[in-house]
């Protein structure tokens, strides 16, 4: 099974709402990632978790709060977002990032977020 | 990671080989060339990667020039389902921990029936 699942598929929220995006993988991967993709642009890295610890934060505003409760789950908590945060949010996972062998990142289908 | 340059778009007839070029003239010795693609409204999908030798898998072939400053992804018999944005990414494969992918603008490949 090489599947990364993301829920919900679509989300509409107001600027005062609090919502969460969820990502799950059962490949035994120990590295997980959040990317943001604006329309007609390439994905941009937001966060990297390695062995359930946050290892990279690409200067993401604090209204985005990641959480990795266990090795299979990755959440992205959203609070007080702005309309310009509307985008496709992609989750990915990879084996562990610690080895020098081939390491593929597997992506989920994304959550399409609209902030009104 | 080294920067890559790709044509913004390409057309290819269905059933023909699609050859997608990528320039990475500043690549260093420990950087690999990776290719991903993103079909509309889906997450990116890994295709292939290589260091200096040519590589082939069930999806594609990767040809890397001897000086490693450019590479070509070959889809041998393109189908309509291969219409996607193709990203060439150069990255270090180190044991220093997980790192994300840095996507360039990619090439929008359109397979024509």
> Inter-chain contact B103–A44, Cβ cutoff 8 Å?
yes
pLDDT interval class at B41 (50, 70, 90): confident
Mean pLDDT score of chain B, rounded to an integer?
Answer: 92
Which tokens is B3 given? 């920067």
> Inter-chain contact B87–A103, Cβ cutoff 8 Å?
no
Query: Measured between CB atoms, which of A42, A100, A107 is closest to B94?
Result: A100
Mutation pick from B35, B98, B106 vs chain A, by most beta carbons of A within 10 Å, is B98
Cβ–Cβ < 8 Å for A8, A110: no
For residue A81, the Cα-to-chain-centroid distance in whole angstroms is: 16
Per CB-CB distance under 8 Å, the chain A contacts of B95 are 98-100
What span, in angstroms and rounded, lies between the C-alpha atoms of A81 and A105? 28
Residues forming beta bridges with residue A35, ordered by sequence position: A45, A90
The minimum CA-CA distance between A85 and chain B, rounded to whole Å, is 18
What span, in angstroms and rounded, lies between the C-alpha atoms of B62 and B89? 13
Scan for tokens 């290719």, then name that residue: B35
Return the pLDDT at A102.
47
Mutation pick from A35, A87, A97 vs chain B, by most beta carbons of B within 10 Å, is A97
For residue B63, the Cα-to-chain-centroid distance in whole angstroms is: 10
Q: Can you say whether the dihedral through the CA atoms of A101, A47, B85, A114 is positive or negative?
A: positive
B contact set with A (CB within 8 A): 38, 41-46, 49, 85, 87, 93-95, 97-106
pLDDT interval class at A101 (50, 70, 90): very low
Distances in whole angstroms, Cα of residue B102 to Cα of each of A11, A21, A31, B65: 26, 22, 16, 22
Return the pLDDT at A93.
94
Closest-CA residue of chain B to A101: B93
Three-state secondary-structure class, residue B42: coil
Cβ–Cβ < 8 Å for B65, B77: no
Per-residue pLDDT tens digits for B66-98:
999 999 999 999 999 999 999 999 887 655 667
Per CB-CB distance under 8 Å, the chain A contacts of B100 are 33, 35, 45, 48, 56, 58
What span, in angstroms and rounded, lies between the C-alpha atoms of A111 and A22? 9
Closest-CA residue of chain B to A54: B98
Per-residue pLDDT tens digits for A17-61:
999 999 999 999 999 999 999 999 999 999 999 899 998 888 999
- DSSP for B74-86, written as a single string: EETT--GGG-EEE
Return the pLDDT at A8.
97
pLDDT interval class at A96 (50, 70, 90): confident
């Amino acid at each position: 099974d090489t599947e990364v699942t993301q829920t919900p598929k679509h989300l509409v929220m107001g600027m005062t709402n609090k919502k969460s995006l969820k990502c799950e993988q059962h490949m035994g991967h120990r590295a997980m990632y959040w990317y943001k993709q604006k329309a007609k642009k390439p994905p941009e890295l937001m966060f990297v978790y390695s062995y359930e610890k946050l290892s990279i934060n690409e200067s993401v505003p604090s209204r985005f709060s990641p959480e990795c409760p266990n090795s299979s789950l990755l959440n992205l908590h959203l609070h007080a977002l702005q309309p310009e945060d509307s985008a496709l949010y992609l989750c990915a996972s990879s084996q562990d990032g610690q080895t020098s062998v081939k390491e593929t990142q597997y992506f989920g289908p994304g959550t399409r977020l609209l902030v009104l | 990671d080294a920067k890559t340059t790709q044509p913004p778009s390409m057309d290819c007839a269905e059933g023909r080989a699609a050859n997608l070029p990528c320039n990475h003239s500043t690549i260093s010795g420990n950087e690999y060339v990776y290719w991903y693609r993103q079909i509309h409204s889906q997450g990116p999908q890994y295709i292939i990667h290589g260091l200096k030798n040519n590589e082939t898998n069930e999806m594609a072939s990767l040809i890397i020039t001897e000086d490693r400053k450019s590479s070509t992804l070959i889809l041998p018999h393109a189908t309509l389902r291969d219409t996607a944005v193709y990203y060439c990414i150069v990255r270090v494969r180190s044991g220093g921990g997980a790192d994300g992918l840095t996507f360039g603008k990619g090439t929008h490949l359109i397979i024509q029936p």
